[in-house]
Structure 1
Amino acid sequence: MIVITAPTGNIGRHLLPLLLESAPAHGEELRVVVRDPARLPDAVRARVEVVTGSHGDAGVVDRAFEGADAVFWLVPPDATLAPDDAYLGFTRPAAKALAVHGVGHVVAVSALGRGTPVADRAGLVTASLAMDDLLAGTGAAYRALASPSFFENLLEEADSIRENGVFTDVVDGDRRAPLVAVADLAAVAAGLLLDRSWTGTDSVPVLGPQDLSPHDLARIMTEQFGRPVHYARQPLDELYTTLVGHGLHEAFVQGIVDMKRAKDEGLDAGATRTPDTATPTTFAQWCARTLKPAVLS
């Protein structure tokens, strides 16, 4: 039995079809934890066991993890909380349930940066790494999917790219770093969940096919869209003010700012890309398939 949390989110909606396709051949049953089962397609609901509720709730995860052999764990973003509450507070009931039910394997979405000089002052990433330690202490074999930023983050910039030909971030325009498509991350997770021959605790870097800078992204988007796209660097204090103005918790916003600052100082630069840590989808491929329709619609 494999339990999937957040099955309708950006990663879960890619992961669940992969598991539905392959699980029967592995003799696996699937259970999902979802707040609103109506968000699952009818064909999916007919093939999985559904536990309704938040996977941050102790009673929900106690029911969901009973009899489970493996769990896919993802903390949904909650900008109403401080980072430690958003990650550690949300995960503590699950950690207890994992230990109580003796779940053998856990795969979780986490972040790059462990062991770097800035890891202890990287905001949301620091909280995510602390979550890894909590889950690794449950007795389950544990794999943290150490992820950089996602291509999909740029979908939030689609309106600005369409209307002004500009996207923003706070990092140096020439700083190259890994980026990855969420579908590729889901594929790595599916492989680990279905082949549970691994033991112990480890991180699994998921690095995409190449490092790219914001200026590289602008060049590729310009080529894909057939019109100029530019990168504008936003000051960190401006980012803070904007996000607080949107009603986000001030401590959570500070966690975002600290994470962004750490990324600009090389947080994601420590992992080595190898055939095992690279993933196949290029930014140009993702841009043509996903971002271009969103921008040009």
Structure 2
Amino acid sequence: MIVITAPTGNIGRDLLPLLLEASPSEKLRVITRDPARLPDAVRECVEVVVGSHGDAEVVDRAFEGADAVFWLVPPDSSRPPADGWLGFTAPAAKALAVHGVGHVVGVSALGRGTPVADRAGLVTASLAMDDLIAETGVAYRALANPSFFENLLEEADSIREKGVFTDVVDADRKAPLVAVADIAAVAARLLLDRSWTGFEDVPVLGPEDLSPTDLARIMTGQLGRPVRYERQPLDELRTTLVGYGLDATFVQGIADMKQAKDNGLDAGVTRTPETASPTTFEQWCAETLKPAVLS
């Protein structure tokens, strides 16, 4: 029995079909607030526990009889990062131990062991979550991810209307980037294998490092229109996000994460055949970003 949290999120909605196709005999249980958001074909093949996976009673029911869990904490912009990741995960950590769950695959971040890991905001909270899960004694694989290609979907309107996307990092700062579909594929492989033991990070780095300048060039070619990068001052980002009503400490967590990335947070892992993932930015632009921008 595999339990999937956040089954309708970016990663979960790719993960579920992979598991169903690869191992039709594997029992799957999902935790979701709204079962109606599950595709009909998926809902018919899984057991559904309704509720939040941050709720102690919900995870207690969901983890009973489970062999493995896919764990993802949804960012909560109304809470400080430590509360968001550690507070949300604490009931699940207890339930993992109570029910003797053997394996957990969690969505985490790059940066463990780097000089800036302890002041990287949301990433620091995510790495602390990994430690909390590992302390239960469960075999744990933390998917150590860089930024997602999909983050650029938030810029689709700006790219369409102004030909501009923004961030706070240096225009020539090269870093790994990854498609969520590739993260889901690694998660599926680990969840179905379960021969692994102990606690390890599993980097998922995409096929190459890219800078904002590289991204602008590739988007220009794929979209058939000029796209340029504008570097946003960090203070301006903070002011904008606080103006949207986000918790001030959460906003500071975003700012600290972005500053850490600009200082090399994601650059500490060597890309190998094991850590690379296949989806190129060109491919993702053609299949995902272009329809969003041109719609």
The equivalent of 1:268 in structure 2 is 266
For 2:279, what is the secondary structure of its paired residue?
coil
Taking the aligned partners of 1:45 and 1:171, their CA distance within structure 2 comes to 41
Q: Note the aligned Cα RMSD (angstroms).
A: 0.5
* Counterpart selection for 2:140 from 130, 139, 142: 142
Write out per-residue CA displacement over residues 1-36 of structure 1, whole angstroms, 9 at most, x where no aligned residue: 000000000100000110111122xx4200000000
Q: Residues 88 and 130 of structure 1 are in contact (CA less than 8 Å); yes or no, is this contact kept in structure 2?
A: yes
The equivalent of 1:286 in structure 2 is 284
For 2:136, what is the secondary structure of its paired residue?
coil
Taking the aligned partners of 2:237 and 2:165, their CA distance within structure 1 comes to 13
Taking the aligned partners of 1:23 and 1:3, their CA distance within structure 2 comes to 14
For 2:191, what is the secondary structure of its paired residue?
helix
The equivalent of 1:89 in structure 2 is 87
For 2:183, what is the secondary structure of its paired residue?
helix
* Counterpart selection for 2:123 from 100, 122, 125: 125
Using the aligned pairs only, state the percent identity.
83
Taking the aligned partners of 2:276 and 2:41, their CA distance within structure 1 comes to 33
For 2:23, what is the secondary structure of its paired residue?
helix
Q: Residues 56 and 91 of structure 1 are in contact (CA less than 8 Å); yes or no, is this contact kept in structure 2?
A: yes
The equivalent of 2:2 in structure 1 is 2
Where structure 1 has 5 or more consecutive residues not aligned to the other structure, the ranges are none
Write out per-residue CA displacement over residues 172-192 of structure 1, whole angstroms, 9 at most, x where no aligned residue: 000000000000000000000
Structure 2 letter corresponding to 1:11: I
Structure 2 letter corresponding to 1:5: T
The equivalent of 2:16 in structure 1 is 16
TM-score (norm 2): 0.99
Taking the aligned partners of 1:173 and 1:85, their CA distance within structure 2 comes to 33
The equivalent of 1:72 in structure 2 is 70
Q: CA deviation at 1:151?
A: 0.1
Alignment of 1:48 onto 2:51: no
Q: CA deviation at 1:296?
A: 1.1
Tell me the number of residue pairs that the alignment of Structure 1 and Structure 2 aligns: 295
Q: CA deviation at 1:252?
A: 0.3
Write out per-residue CA displacement over residues 128-182 of structure 1, whole angstroms, 9 at most, x where no aligned residue: 0000000001111000000000000000000000000000000000000000000
Q: CA deviation at 1:44?
A: 1.2
Where structure 2 has 5 or more consecutive residues not aligned to the other structure, the ranges are none
Q: Residues 102 and 139 of structure 1 are in contact (CA less than 8 Å); yes or no, is this contact kept in structure 2?
A: no
Q: Residues 70 and 103 of structure 1 are in contact (CA less than 8 Å); yes or no, is this contact kept in structure 2?
A: yes
Structure 1 letter corresponding to 2:113: G
Write out per-residue CA displacement over residues 24-77 of structure 1, whole angstroms, 9 at most, x where no aligned residue: 2xx420000000011112221111000000000000000000000000000011
For 2:171, what is the secondary structure of its paired residue?
coil
Structure 2 letter corresponding to 1:13: R
TM-score (norm 1): 0.99
